[in-house]
Structure 1
Amino acid sequence: MPPTPIETKLAAARTRLILDKPFLGALVLRLPMHAAATDWCKTTATDARAFYYNPDYIAALTLDQTQFILAHEALHCALSHFARRRHRLRHRWDLACDYAVNPLLIADGLTPPPGALVMPMYKGMTAEEIYPLIGEQDQSETLDTHAYDQDDQNPRGRGQQSGLTEKDLDQRPPQQQPAAGEPDQGGARNAQPAPGGGAGAPQPLTPDEQDTLAVQWQQRLAGAAQQAMQAGKLGGELARMIDHLLQPQLPWRMLLARYLSATARDDFSYARPSRREGDFILPSLRSQQLDLIIAIDTSGSIKDQELEEFINEIDALKGQVRARVTLLPCDAALCAGAPFRYEPWEQVVRPTAIQGGGGTSFVPVFRWVATAGIQPDLLVYFTDAEGEFPKQEPPYPVIWLVKGQSKVPWGQRIQLN
């Protein structure tokens, strides 16, 4: 059967992506394309296995806009949005994912179709960072249908129409498995034919499927990025995002605890004791107190809840390693009343005097340490890393706990999200 005009248009858009945007083109190639029934797919959709489209919607788009919508679905998959929602409400999460994806594509020179969600304030942010900024009653509509997830509330907007209730699942025909030796067509086995023609809504992914697909898509992301970099066609926001995603993502609490434990000066001494203590030399544990400086960015980008969680974590770790904590809240200047000091036996609590919201400079913290003549065992800075850094690295270890994707010029950087 010869291809339809819509199939030809999609193939042309995909080919242009492969030639002009090899990173995005390589990802789009991983999604088989299926015409979908119009009762559930008003525009386009993905279940992390395939690309579903409404032929009437594709017909109304230009070739440039078709490239955008193909790349839009592929990025949802490559960023594992289908596996990162966790406890979050689906509607707000779907909006956050669109707000995270669309600016990346626009910055890469693609043309969005009408209805694409774009908010300048969300540029450069991950879906997790955008989610709490979206109002609970936001009635915005996503550009597409995220068909990989289960609804947790009544559908709202065309981006929510793929949710299946228990009744829907009971009425669905049994899922067909591929015949022996037949390859899995990436979503085709999950989407049953609809009565009116086109693929029906695919079943939401199970937790095991989410985990498996997340690994597959991360491998595809890394492979596509490598090919594009070799071709010299990967840069800007997409390159920074990929670099951020491919960094080892270990829990910051674990990394900080490990670092503090290694820094703790607990050791065994084999010094010869007094003769009055006997003839045997047995090891004795000697322990010295750590001097720990904690700096907190109060410029406004760090939320109150995040500050509370961070301070509570520091308090818990401090008790394990016998550390005296000096707390230095700072935006463009040190907070009034700083420093705040806590002995190892004292609970670290958030000072009521903490105020901020101004610009960001890291210089006042390091200047205060130098002026005070202190040589701390460790300085930990909780920040988004968007501010003025001292020109010279200090003569003591520094850990930056960074919320966001910004880089640091020196010290050890630990990713918070």
Structure 2
Amino acid sequence: MSTHPAEARTAQAHGTGARTAEPPVEPPVAGALDLEKLFAARLHAARVRPYLATALFALHTVESRQVPTMAVDRHWRCYVSPGFVDRTPVEELAGVWVHEVSHLLRDHHGRGDRVARERGLTGPGERLRMNIAADCEINDDVYGEGLVQPEGVVTPEYLGLSPGRLMEDYLRQFRLGARTQDLVWLDCGSGADGLERVWDLGPDGAHGLSAQEQDAVRFRVAQGINGRPGTAPAGWRRWAEEAFHPPQPWRELLGAAVRSAASGAGAGEDYSYARPSRRSAAVPGAVLPSLRRRPPRVCVVIDTSGSVSDDELGSALLEVAAIARAVGGRSDMVSVVPCDAAARIVHPLCAGEGIPLLGGGGTDLRTGFAKALGAGPRPDVIVVLTDGQTPWPATRPPCRTVVGLFPRQRAGRWNENDPDYVPDAPPPWARVVTIGSGSGSR
């Protein structure tokens, strides 16, 4: 049975996230890989997308008859089907080059692994969804301006989704079904979803890039994009900005800040007669105590004022449990002080969900500091979870302080009754971590 030309073109576009009814079939007899044509396509891609040139030439090509078209692994090798190169025009091959290297630059393999762990996504079906979602992220700004878009390329519009989103967003917005039933053969390799393929050479194979080399390539590409403002699509400009200022997992930062404060000199240290000091031998007739380290005491002051939302209060309770884990799981060493304009009762941490977060008025966390320090025994670390709309103590407290800030995007939201009000920044003696989807720290 003959194949309609449009169907054949759809099969040829398979490596760029195209919709195919059947897997492409290699000719019975295939010649050697046409490197001249393949590299001419890469040169064309570099000319029309000069900011991607460093990444395009960092890819090492591997001839493979196991891949349907072109695919990449997580070590920056590009596997190429000789038959696909033979039957595809140079202009379309250039688009495939850009498509495949985009997966690697945007770390779709690492992000796919993280999403799989966080959301419990297992099995080839979920990895196919990741590949489709990753293609949606990059295909809405790959083509045009010198790069030909093949027929049947997977785009957000095809799935009824909005363009300009990230892979993680698209994963939440569609499931495998009628719209995706023709995408079962889509395979851009482990570089697109993190799942190793049988053709992968693996971490010990030749010509792979190390993690440091991959980061260096990404940084050079980001430099090129930021150095030529207005020449790259919005998706690439957003990526380049994040490459220079990568978001850090704020929960890890908050936990690290608490652990660092709790492990500092003097924190959790006290004298004990349970084991006499070795210096007792120098003082006949006297027993001297020894300095012992105990689990650190942590007091969490939670801002319950009206400017803090219910969602943020719920997040604060989750962070209390995370803080307890950060100091070794000793919940008996963690206490909580709800505070708006006045500090509430100091609650020992038994179960975070049982702590009433009362409040709703103005904010003065100085009373929270006073309550935390006045309720013995004195804490070694005070952790403050707040939106920052508060006066701060004039003097440094006699213990370490970590501030978790709920982000506020617009200054106009600070105080509806006083548009000129700007809150004071946290004091320099506090370690500050921004709580949100991204994070920052100082």
Q: Name the residue aligned to 1:258.
A: 259
Distance 1:265 1:232, change over 3 A: closer
Give the drift of 1:237.
1.9
1:208-264 CA deviation, whole Å, 9 max, x = no partner?
A: 569x95x62551341453377379746622322323559799954762452342368
Distance 1:340 1:282, change over 3 A: closer
1:306-338 CA deviation, whole Å, 9 max, x = no partner?
A: 88864532343365483433468xxxxx9xx99
| Correspondence 1:115 to 2:153 | yes
Q: Name the residue aligned to 1:365.
A: 387
SS state at 2:58 partner: coil
Question: Aligned partner of 2:155: which letter?
Answer: L
| Correspondence 1:343 to 2:347 | yes
SS state at 1:393 partner: coil
Distance 1:69 1:91, change over 3 A: same
Work out the CA distance in 2 between the residues paired with 1:66 and 1:82. Answer: 22
Q: Structure 1 residue aligned with 2:59, among 31, 38, 45? A: 31
In 2, are the aligned partners of 1:80 and 1:217 still within 8 Å (CA)?
no
Q: Structure 2 residue aligned with 1:70, among 67, 81, 97? A: 97
For 1:82-97, list aligned pairs within 5 A.
82=109, 85-86=112-113, 87=116, 88=121, 89-97=126-134
Distance 1:234 1:36, change over 3 A: farther
In 2, are the aligned partners of 1:69 and 1:112 still within 8 Å (CA)?
no
Q: Structure 1 residue aligned with 2:210, among 209, 213, 216? A: 216
Report the aligned-residue RMSD. 5.8
Distance 1:80 1:301, change over 3 A: farther
Q: Structure 2 residue aligned with 1:314, among 323, 330, 335? A: 323
SS state at 1:255 partner: helix
Work out the CA distance in 1 between the residues paired with 2:143 and 2:342. Answer: 44
Q: Name the residue aligned to 1:188.
A: none
Q: Name the residue aligned to 1:81.
A: 108
- Percent identity over the alignment is 15
Question: Aligned partner of 1:75: which letter?
Answer: S
Work out the CA distance in 1 between the residues paired with 2:311 and 2:165. Answer: 14
1:63-105 CA deviation, whole Å, 9 max, x = no partner?
A: 3x65443122113234443455444321222233324444675
Question: Aligned partner of 1:314: which letter?
Answer: I
In 1, are the aligned partners of 2:95 and 2:148 still within 8 Å (CA)?
yes
For 1:123-162, list aligned pairs within 5 A.
123=164, 125=166, 127=167, 129-130=168-169, 133-137=172-176, 139-140=179-180, 141=183, 145-148=187-190
For 1:264-275, list aligned pairs within 5 A.
265-268=267-270
For normalisation by structure 1, the TM-score amounts to 0.55
Q: Name the residue aligned to 1:282.
A: 289
For normalisation by structure 2, the TM-score amounts to 0.52
| Correspondence 1:15 to 2:38 | no
Work out the CA distance in 1 between the residues paired with 2:32 and 2:262. Answer: 67
Question: Aligned partner of 1:145: which letter?
Answer: D
Question: Aligned partner of 1:94: which letter?
Answer: N
Work out the CA distance in 2 between the residues paired with 1:346 and 1:314. Answer: 13
SS state at 1:222 partner: helix
Which runs of 5 or more structure 2 residues have no equivalent in the other structure? 1-30, 230-236, 273-283, 359-384, 415-421
Give the drift of 1:346.
3.0
Question: Aligned partner of 1:316: which letter?
Answer: R
| Correspondence 1:203 to 2:198 | yes
How many residues of Structure 1 are paired with residues of Structure 2 in the alignment?
331
Distance 1:207 1:30, change over 3 A: closer
In 2, are the aligned partners of 1:33 and 1:50 still within 8 Å (CA)?
yes
Which runs of 5 or more structure 1 residues have no equivalent in the other structure? 150-158, 165-201, 271-276, 329-333, 355-362, 413-417
In 1, are the aligned partners of 2:270 and 2:291 still within 8 Å (CA)?
yes
Distance 1:22 1:222, change over 3 A: farther
1:45-67 CA deviation, whole Å, 9 max, x = no partner?
A: 334421436347743x8x3x654
| Structure ID, larger Rg | 2
Q: Name the residue aligned to 1:198.
A: none
Q: Name the residue aligned to 2:432.
A: 399
